[in-house]
Structure 1
């Protein structure tokens, strides 16, 4: 199985390295030559164009930032999909709107599109411990599984195309809501004279345990440090879920919006 990879950022690069190390013939494309330098001499094949990348791929993995990025590398006369053989698989690891994946499938019916956003970050990718949330036909997800399992210890099939994206944005919306609740909990603890670090230890192992609680504690009990790193991405993801599922008036959305407000961002379609 020949694998192609585009999107060699902080998360994509270790994913691609795991594929190469697993022995799959792997082709790589990047806009910046510097992104390809870590792959010199380890068996990966750099290509000069996206068209070349598509032609060299039975399974093409895409790990760019957003919907526009996905369309940029896949569509158009210079896009990778123009040269892929019938029956090849395109795996979208980017967190994007489910409609973006569905439209690709509609416009390229001779190919198979799988949406497979991931959770865990670059350090988990490097150790093969990412969580992959997959959507698409069962047989196509299973065909892709040997590649996905090079960087994941959990490949979960959620349902038809778009299901993986919906699961990912639901997960991230819950995380955003928990960020808001954690900051409020630590503020309340400070007001009541409780030790915030001790509360952080409780939230790490007690019945109210929360990964968001650990993140907030590690950032100084507020969201200031997280805002430039994740604020925009969380706003995008909450916006996608609202577009798909509504959520108006729900505790989940109200808490998520509070976290976004604390980070100085707002989701698409929200009222300032």
Structure 2
């Protein structure tokens, strides 16, 4: 890993049962952490711990060069990436989007192609181990 990638700002979208414990492990990331979730109450503890909070995925992409997405399903992942307030609206070329949600192969391929059009790297990065594994950092 290069010094640049270790200090690149990180964004995290989706602070549910899996996302919140993963994102908590990134609070001390040298480049800083920006979080986004549709539920303001789940964002508060991250802000209290030093993270930046934003209202939309597009805003995450203005602050972060590595963005993790952990939302519920194919439709939500697609909206987060390509919707009117999606990551691809503002992501700089070279941004990396790692999707930890369980999505279909077809959705992953379609989103990878859409990201490539914007020179954004798409990584289908599902996790296993559940919320306990996320909390322990053993996914």
Larger Rg: 1
Tell me the residue number matched to 2:138. 129
Does 2:123 correspond to 1:114? Answer: yes
Flag as ranges the 4+ runs of structure 1 deviating above 6 A: none
Does 2:59 correspond to 1:52? Answer: yes
The aligned length equals: 130
Which structure has more relative contact order (CA 8 Å, sep 6+)? It is: 2
1:113: how far off? 0.4
Q: Deviations over 1:20-64 (max 9, x none)?
A: 134441101111111112213211100122211111111110001
Measure, in 2, the Cα distance between the counterparts of 1:24 and 1:42: 15
**Alignment partner of 2:48: what SS?**
coil
**Alignment partner of 2:27: what SS?**
helix
1:8: how far off? 0.4
Measure, in 2, the Cα distance between the counterparts of 1:22 and 1:28: 13
Listed as ranges, the matches of 1:179-258 within 5 Å are none
Q: Deviations over 1:210-239 (max 9, x none)?
A: xxxxxxxxxxxxxxxxxxxxxxxxxxxxxx
**Alignment partner of 2:34: what SS?**
strand
Tell me the residue number matched to 1:66. 73
The more displaced of 21-30 and 71-80 is 21-30
Does 2:25 correspond to 1:34? Answer: no
**Alignment partner of 2:84: what SS?**
coil
Measure, in 1, the Cα distance between the counterparts of 2:46 and 2:132: 17
Tell me the residue number matched to 1:159. none
Measure, in 2, the Cα distance between the counterparts of 1:6 and 1:87: 18
In proportion to residue count, which structure has more helix? 1
Tell me the residue number matched to 1:98. 105
1:7: how far off? 0.9
Measure, in 2, the Cα distance between the counterparts of 1:23 and 1:127: 21
Tell me the residue number matched to 1:4. 11
1:98: how far off? 1.3
Measure, in 1, the Cα distance between the counterparts of 2:68 and 2:104: 17
Q: What is the TM-score when the length of structure 2 is the normalising length?
A: 0.88
Gaps of 5+ in 1: 131-272
